[in-house]
Amino acid sequence: MSESKHLPIYRHKAELIQAVKNSNFLVVTGETGSGKTTQLPQYLYQAGICKDGKIGITQPRRVAAITVAQRVAQEMQCTLGREVGYQVRFDDCTTQDTVVKYMTDGCLLREILADSLLSQYRVVILDEVHERSLSTDILLGLLKKIFSDPAKATSGRSVPLKVVVMSATLDTDKLSAFLGDCPVFAIPGRTFPVTCTFGSAVGPKDIESTNYVKEVVKVALNVHTTEMAGDILVFLTGQSEIEQACDLLYEKAESIDYRYDVYDQTVEGLLILPLYGSMPTDQQRQIFQPAPPRIRKCVVATNIAATSLTINGIKYIVDSGFVKQLNHNSRVGMDILEVVPISKSEAQQRAGRAGRTSAGKCFRIYTKEFWEKKMPEFTVPEIQRTSLTSVVLTLKCLGIHDVIRFPYLDCPEERFILEALKQLYQFDAIDRRGRVTQLGELMVELPLPPGLARAVLKAASLGCQDLLLPVAAMLSVENIFIRPGHPNKQKEADIKHRALATRSGSMNDFATLLTVFQACKSSDRPSGWCKDNWIHWRALKSAFAVETQLQEIVAHLQRKRDFPVETFDGQKNELFRRCLCAGYFTNVARRSVGKAFCTMDGHGSIVQIHPSSSLFDQEAELNWVLFHDVLVTSRVYIRTVCPIQYEWVKDLLPKLHEVDVYELSSVARK
């Protein structure tokens, strides 16, 4: 019997196919690991549904979309990209033959922009809906709005679209009610008890400390040397922490003497495996392979292992209690990626990973008091805590003008919607009446944050996109500068990075990105060049691919009849920075005293240049700067900084105060 026949979903195959056939909307729920993501699309494919169109399955995380597609292609014994494929931002692995398509929720949103009836699809499966990602929430509302009216169900389509909504948690009544009381199919699962214990390392006062990495390592090693056979899954928040923890684990695990230390004599070694979003996929595949005999596997992962990917054989969980989350920071008026305590429901989800095949144990490194005082009951949906600028522009481009009364599963606060409208107005993407402008129509075509899209379009209209597209690409991939933890190596890397900054002529972090891109691209030994300069070759390789795709999109936009054309005669260096101003005038700061700058966006936050910038320590020579993003610790730092002249933003800055949100609130409903 093949592996997949052991999965809980298998016994319900026929009923599930029938349930999808019987109703246009269906909610499917089942424990993580029951087989929803990998099996249901295959069942529908086998049932012949694809003769009328594709099956599209969305995932909130790009790694999940890629990994799952690989797995399903393997199970269906086809080459990835043929019958089974995936599409994520800047990486399309599908062909004409693809009928089972895994993709990120953001990609499906873009497809709706191009074809709101989704005519190519027979079934759309929104997966991992319990994660409540921004794009999934918007898709839920859109699919409800476009397809739930039975009178219009086939509107323009030959057959109605089937919508399946999958969730790991049992709060399905709300989903079903939202989708017009559609049927719910619950896959019964078995789970085994998981004993949870609290630790003493992280208390309510330790929110800012990062000592939890060391503590997690200590606890994991303790599990390894005292507990019976069974794999360990450790939850941390991101790549650098995970690498740090893995290094510590390697170091400590080497000195274990298995003759004396190990309680369970069947374990004689530890296999340490990191798992995070930007990891190469071939390395990710290792995670799923069983460890060799007598070896215990220890996976050190981000939240991706909580529900998106299921690893078999896990018996022990070590939970740090933290997660990296994008939150709107009202102090600086921007979205910031920050480390925060997880919610109680998230902690339960993490613990549950230990009880899939037998009873398990979960070791929480935080105290009971931390749980009670610092951890919220539930995670706030992304739509209620991040910037809505891109989403509101998408809705407006789809002809949905009343963005306040859009069917949201959970409504965002009205002020967040108004803030988004204000930003769109500042970027000239909508007019005073709230209608999308020609520029707005162009901006929505670029898979970039609105400010960066605006800068790229400015460059394109001036015919100098070759300066901006590499920068946009570099800002769209993971960090490209290697920052070794070791102090001596750090010094070496700093010297190389400084040299690259100087090479760009003017001290300007955006120009440095451009220099790195061009220098590496023209090198005949690009990977060696990266190694010499402490640059992540993998990140740069993705940046090359992203830039090519952005080139194609821009070329396509430029062929449009009314694409704006402007001229500029002046230095290239000034031209470059003026294009940046067009997109980043919302992120302009003026030096006040000493090293401090004051932002000009109305928040008037006091900020400082981050030490990673080539302009750090040159503050005395600067008056006006613009920046890409901020890092909030006890201070607010600006990162990726460029010096500018006041004249270049003089006409743009008033736009930041020109329209108040109340004026826009009337257009929000139109």
Nearer to ligand ADP, 310 or 533 (CB): 310
Among ligand ADP, Mg ion, none, what does residue 106 contact (CB within 5–8 Å per kind)? none
Print burial letters for 404-413: b (CB count within 10 Å at least 16), e (below 16).
Answer: bebebbeebe
Q: In what helix (H) or strand (E) does residue 124 lie, and over which residues does it extend?
A: strand 121-126
Among ligand ADP, Mg ion, none, what does residue 592 contact (CB within 5–8 Å per kind)? none
Nearer to Mg ion, 36 or 361 (CB): 36
Which range of residues in 32-40, 297-305, 430-438, 472-480 is near Mg ion by CB under 5 A? 32-40
Q: Are 100 and 139 in contact (CB under 8 A)?
A: no
Minimum Å distance from CB 100 to ligand ADP? Answer: 13
Nearer to ligand ADP, 34 or 504 (CB): 34
Which pairing describes strands 54-59 and 100-104: parallel, antiparallel, or unpaired?
parallel
Q: Decide if residue 7 touches ligand ADP (CB under 6 A).
A: yes
Among Mg ion, ligand ADP, none, what does residue 35 contact (CB within 5–8 Å per kind)? ligand ADP
Which pairing describes strands 184-187 and 25-30: parallel, antiparallel, or unpaired?
parallel
Minimum Å distance from CB 21 to Mg ion? Answer: 22
* Tokens, residue 213: 């990495």
Among ligand ADP, Mg ion, none, what does residue 30 contact (CB within 5–8 Å per kind)? ligand ADP
Q: What is the DSSP string of 481-541?
A: B---SSHHHHHHHHHHHHHHHHHTSS--HHHHHHHHHHHHHH-SSHHHHHHHTTB-HHHHH
Nearer to ligand ADP, 129 or 667 (CB): 129
Backbone angles phi, psi at 119, to 5 degrees: -60, -25
Nearer to Mg ion, 36 or 62 (CB): 36
Nearer to ligand ADP, 275 or 393 (CB): 275
Q: Which of 588, 134, 28 is nearest to 382 (CA)?
A: 134
Minimum Å distance from CB 546 to Mg ion? Answer: 27
Minimum Å distance from CB 67 to ligand ADP? Answer: 5
Q: Decide if residue 24 touches ligand ADP (CB under 6 A).
A: no
Which range of residues in 34-42, 410-418, 509-517, 652-660 is near ligand ADP by CB under 6 A? 34-42
Q: Decide if residue 67 touches ligand ADP (CB under 6 A).
A: yes
Which range of residues in 30-38, 315-323, 505-513, 660-668 is near ligand ADP by CB under 6 A? 30-38
Position among 24, 34, 37, 394 found at the interface with Mg ion (CB under 5 A): 37
Nearer to Mg ion, 60 or 583 (CB): 60
Tokens 């949905």 identify what position?
400
Q: What is the DSSP string of 410-453?
A: SPPPHHHHHHHHHHHHHTTSB-TTS-B-HHHHHHTTSSS-HHHH
Minimum Å distance from CB 73 to Mg ion? Answer: 16
Backbone angles phi, psi at 369, to 5 degrees: -65, -40
Ordered strands of the 314-319 beta sheet:
194-197, 360-364, 314-319, 231-235, 295-301, 269-275
* Tokens, residue 589: 């700061």
Nearer to Mg ion, 37 or 587 (CB): 37
Q: Decide if residue 59 touches Mg ion (CB under 5 A).
A: no
CA–CA distance, 575 with 566 (Å, rounded to integer):
12
Q: Decide if residue 284 touches Mg ion (CB under 5 A).
A: no
- Give the residues across from 335 on adjacent strands: 328
**Helix (H/G/I), strand (E/B), else coil: 565:** coil
Q: Decide if residue 303 touches ligand ADP (CB under 6 A).
A: no
Which range of residues in 64-72, 235-243, 422-430, 465-473 is near ligand ADP by CB under 6 A? 64-72
Q: In what helix (H) or strand (E) does residue 5 lie, and over which residues does it extend?
A: none
How many positions of this chain bind Mg ion (CB under 5 A)?
2
**Using alpha carbons only, how large is the chain's radius of gyration in Å?**
26
Position among 24, 25, 33, 227 found at the interface with ligand ADP (CB under 6 A): 33
Q: Decide if residue 360 touches ligand ADP (CB under 6 A).
A: no
Q: Which of 400, 481, 413 is nearest to 661 (CA)?
A: 413
CA–CA distance, 34 with 307 (Å, rounded to integer):
11
Vertex 315 angle, CA 37 and 305, to 5°: 40
Nearer to ligand ADP, 70 or 504 (CB): 70
Which range of residues in 37-45, 193-201, 399-407, 474-482 is near ligand ADP by CB under 6 A? 37-45
Position among 24, 29, 37, 98 found at the interface with ligand ADP (CB under 6 A): 37
Tell me, what DSSP letter sits at residue 161?
A: P
Nearer to ligand ADP, 304 or 453 (CB): 304
Q: Decide if residue 12 touches ligand ADP (CB under 6 A).
A: no
* Tokens, residue 297: 């596997």
Among Mg ion, ligand ADP, none, what does residue 33 contact (CB within 5–8 Å per kind)? ligand ADP
Q: Decide if residue 136 touches ligand ADP (CB under 6 A).
A: no
Nearer to ligand ADP, 34 or 98 (CB): 34
Position among 30, 53, 412, 434 found at the interface with ligand ADP (CB under 6 A): 30
Q: What is the DSSP string of 60-104?
A: SSHHHHHHHHHHHHHHTT--TTSSEEEEETTEEE--TT--EEEEE
Nearer to Mg ion, 37 or 237 (CB): 37
Minimum Å distance from CB 375 to Mg ion? Answer: 24
Nearer to Mg ion, 37 or 386 (CB): 37
* Tokens, residue 200: 């003493």
Indicate the Cα dihedral angle 575, 579, 582, 585, nearest 10°.
-80
Position among 16, 24, 28, 32 found at the interface with ligand ADP (CB under 6 A): 32
Q: Decide if residue 288 touches ligand ADP (CB under 6 A).
A: yes
* Sites of contact with ligand ADP (CB under 6 A): 7, 30, 32-39, 67-68, 70-71, 288, 310, 312
* Sites of contact with Mg ion (CB under 5 A): 36-37
